[in-house]
Structure 1
Amino acid sequence: MREMRESPQLGSLRLLVRFIILSALLSAGAAALCVLTAALAGRLSPGPAVWAAALAVPAAFGAVTALLAGRYFNRRFRRLRDSFQTIIDGDLSVRLPVEGSGAFSAAYADFNRMAEELQNVRARRDEYVNTFTHEFKTPLTAIRGFAELLQEPGFTEAEQKKYLQIIASESTQLAELANDALLLTKLETGNLPVSRTTFWLDEQVSHCLLLLEGSAREKAQTLTADIAPVEFTGSVELLPHVWNNLVGNAIKYTPNGGHIRVSLQRQGDTAVFTVADDGIGMSDEVRSHIFDRYYQADPSHTRRGIGLGLPIVHSIVSLCGGRIQVESTPGAGSTFRVLLPGAGTTEAARA
């Protein structure tokens, strides 16, 4: 049976009640002892009225103590309750004063941390909405502009082809934005069925690199790969999102002429995929948030994207039972390492 843990507030209340009862009993005992001593000394003949008066003193003391304690607890609980209601009403700026080290101070500190985190989530959500709107508006504006332009006469066939290619490219960008948002929502809500298939992971990774070679070539980057044959059992549909996002980010955040190194190795029953670059790198603060939804290290929109790529990567890797290791130094590049259980045989079995 699962053991129930008592909250600090309830524990403090129990201690206070015990203190009141104990104080009342001690006071009653002391009063009774005084009456009994006086009676034995012959100075007092205690009757019912005397005993009642003696016991009334601790009873009154206990009642007053209980009343004061009740008011104290009621005031502190009411303040906590009202603050929660303020949060529910949408004001996340409310904070409670933390004084001393009692149970209520601990509860108030926990409340403040919760409110701070909720405020951060709201800020990241608002930034995400702004970025999402901007990224959607940009291709829509381009599509509309070139579509209207093509309605005018006088364009050569080459010009028409160029404008149609731009429309197709921007349409693809829109589709990718929508697909990423939908995919992350399904991953986070658990509404995405995951099938396990045995396939050659090196072939999948090599195919993804082939698709991204053109982007690296446009920036005069050197893209090197060390891909070992690895048979793997996992999600053949979801894992390409991992490779495309990680290598794509390395290309995006590495300056022209930079170097990107990709490797795939097998360590026991674990497939190890590594992407290392000599790009702009990240600070510790940025690195601690890169897998958070709504988070963008560069909110200036100088680079296209809405910050969903790495949260998608993290969700897929977690869903597959793996983990991600990140090393980065500002100005010196980043290394992402994905470790996935499910690796099987190597090249000998392929023949």
Structure 2
Amino acid sequence: MAFLFRRWRHKLFFNVIVRFVVGLLFIYFYCEYLIYYVTQVQCEWPALKKEYAQDVTPVYAMVLADTHLLGSRNGHWFDKWRREWQMHRAFQTAMTLHGPEAVFVLGDLFDEGKWCPEKEFNEYVDRFHKLFRVPEGTAMYTVVGNHDIGFHYRITPHLAYRFESKLSAPPVRLVTIKDNHFVLINSMAMEGDGCSLCSRAINEIERIEDILKCSSGSTLCKGNVVLKKYSRPIIMQHYPLYRESDSICTEPDAAPLPDRNSLFEERWDCLSRESTEYLVERLRPRSAFGGHTHHSCVVRHSFVPTADHKIEFTEYTVPSFSWRNRLDPKYYLLTITPEEVRVSKCGLPRECTLQATAVVMLLALLIYLRVYYNRTKNYNQKHLFGKKV
């Protein structure tokens, strides 16, 4: 009988250990994989307000900003690994759940792009493509940010060229998807001081302006390049357009107070007033997207260049996609037709939510094991000895 009792105790102990290990593996799997699905499955593509003919198919695009991949200078290696793993899981989950046709990344891909030597920059680019890998059929477009090549005053031709060549990101680029036109702009090239980078950007903007005029049937058209179908473009860049501060931002994930009321410095926190007016008057956008502040903001602009002409559009500042920059990273899903731009903001799990979930699940596991042990022990003692001992 004593032998059977010892054998039963060993078996019970083994069963408890097995359940504990399996429980830990499930907690890890849930907190490192499943929680991204649980969070993002709640976010859907925004619905269009109008009904369209069958030949009009919307573009489904994803917009994120400020990934700030760490280099060799800032941050601990564990923090670097942890944040990159989180962004990779979140992004790949979004690709699986939503399957966008296009992904726009609005600058500051790298945290130390303006400092790193050539070899490190190439490794940066490879890491970015591995972490933010898109499936076949999805196009990715990147816009340069100040952390990628530096603010205007410290950009060298080499820094600008290597980002442009490695990530296909010229100072200004016109992208057309299903008759929807996107103008991708290097914000630091909008300084307006006549530098070579700025001159390239201005020349391209004026060329795109003429293409849009020709496509709209304007009598002011000078060239002969015409788009298949005209629609007002969508601006994609790193900086927000000019605004005095974030005090006009009312979203729950806007900049916290009192920082929200801090005045912006032109060409540092946002585009200058002159560059903003220039872009709006030249391109007449129907919407604009930027990043840089790491916080959310929705601004409804109304420009009146002349007494009989008004340009109205909505600008969205996209929160950072990195847990290093905010506790609740976000990204946008866009449903776009030549007449509509519909926006949904998607949240990722908070760091505290991940930690609290792991603690609660661990406590639940320990309680379950305690109950299982006591019940199994009492049941087997009754059968071995005919009574409880």
Q: TM-score range by the shorter chain?
A: under 0.3
Q: Normalized against structure 1, the TM-score is what?
A: 0.23
Would you tell me which structure has more helix in proportion to its own residues? 1
Q: Normalized against structure 2, the TM-score is what?
A: 0.21
Tell me which structure has the larger Cα radius of gyration.
1
